[in-house]
Structure 1
Amino acid sequence: MKRIRLKMVRKDLLDIPQYELPPGFRMRLFEKGDEHHWARIETSAGEFKDEEAALERFNKEFGADIDEMTRRCVFIENENGDVIGTTTAWYGDLKDDGEISGRIHWVGVVPDYQGKKLSKPLLSAAMNILAEHHSKAYLTSQTTSYQAVNMYLNYGFEPYIAGPSCEEAWDLLENVLNRKIKATGSDKQLK
């Protein structure tokens, strides 16, 4: 499948779907030093070539705000206390206009635990955190993560159409997911 980057928006943070973790798992917030867990998870999920590159990106994006990570980054641990999933309820500027929105950032679950009903509880937890600080949210993804995109759609995120590559991405995803998507999309506006 062609890999095309895309953005999605959720115009409010009301009525967030709630999912509980399966037995044997627990959630916790980031603690200083957890950047190594974050790097391992994101590397294993295919986001980076190695953990060194992941740590470099972590430090670039979050290093100056490490205290904020203790309130906004969520981890899942298995019954042995191994950290196996993460996402961050971060913030950003979707349109480069200075308006700050909540952002679902870097969702990742190690491959051995993918498909074990962990992503929805992880996303619910992050969105609940966002709702404490923001009134709307966005995220970035790519067409090759079509299963995640399908989950985001089910959570009320909509396509953010900002150009021809966006149209191509959503046409591709409509075919792959066998569902109408673009009719609900945002047309460059996050209201």
Structure 2
Amino acid sequence: MLDKTLPYFHIIMKRKAGLPIAQHALPAEFSLSAFVPGDEMEWAHIETAVGEFMTADEALAYFQETYLPHRNELIRRCMFVRRDDGRAVGTITSWWNTTEERRDPSVHWLAVLPDYQGLGLGKALVSECLQRLVWLEGDRDIFLHTQTWSLIRQLQST
């Protein structure tokens, strides 16, 4: 869970164009899948479970407003890690941010359900996301916005 008692600060990380992308495979009992209509409910569940939203309804409203208007892009850019039974346990989105007139490739909403953290699922999602962004946007600088709440959680888990 996020530690929201800490002061909130934006953190922007950048993968410079041309750098190699580490390959991380999923454990055998998991697979990657692309977004299909209806997956927004699983996205909302995952993001709420990790503390990014207070309620699944709030997460779903965000998803519907931000991503669903770009359905064709969403299908190419939003991914899930699924268990063998098909249940989604992690997600990431290979998206973009717009700064003035410039569109920058960006990693959005990496999350893995708490019971599945520490299995390498996040590493595999990031690897796939970065590869997909290079394929979709060209080998350009790629950005990730995070916050102190998440950074502290990561430091505590290592």
Going from structure 1 to structure 2, the CA distance change for 1:57 and 1:68 (only over 3 Å counts) comes to: same
Name the residue aligned to 2:24. 19
Q: Does 1:130 align with 2:133?
A: yes
Q: 5 Å matches for 1:1-191?
A: 1-12=6-17, 14-93=19-98, 96-134=99-137, 135-146=140-151
Report the residue type matching 2:33 in the other structure.
R
Q: In structure 1, the residue corresponding to 2:68 is in which secondary structure?
A: helix
Q: Secondary structure at the match of 2:33?
A: strand
Please say if residues 89 and 129 of structure 1, whose CA atoms lie closer than 8 Å, have aligned partners that are also in contact. Answer: yes
Deviation beyond 3 Å, 4+ runs, structure 1? 147-150
| Unaligned stretches of 5+ residues in structure 1 | 151-175, 177-191
State the identity %: 34
Contact in 2 for aligned 1:41/1:110 (Cα 8 Å)? yes
How many equivalent residue pairs? 150
Shift of 1:91: 1.0
Judging changes above 3 Å, is the alpha-carbon distance between structure 1 residues 62 and 148 closer, same or farther for their aligned structure 2 residues? farther
Cα separation, 1, equivalents of 2:9 and 2:145: 11
Q: Tell me the TM-score normalised to structure 2 length.
A: 0.87
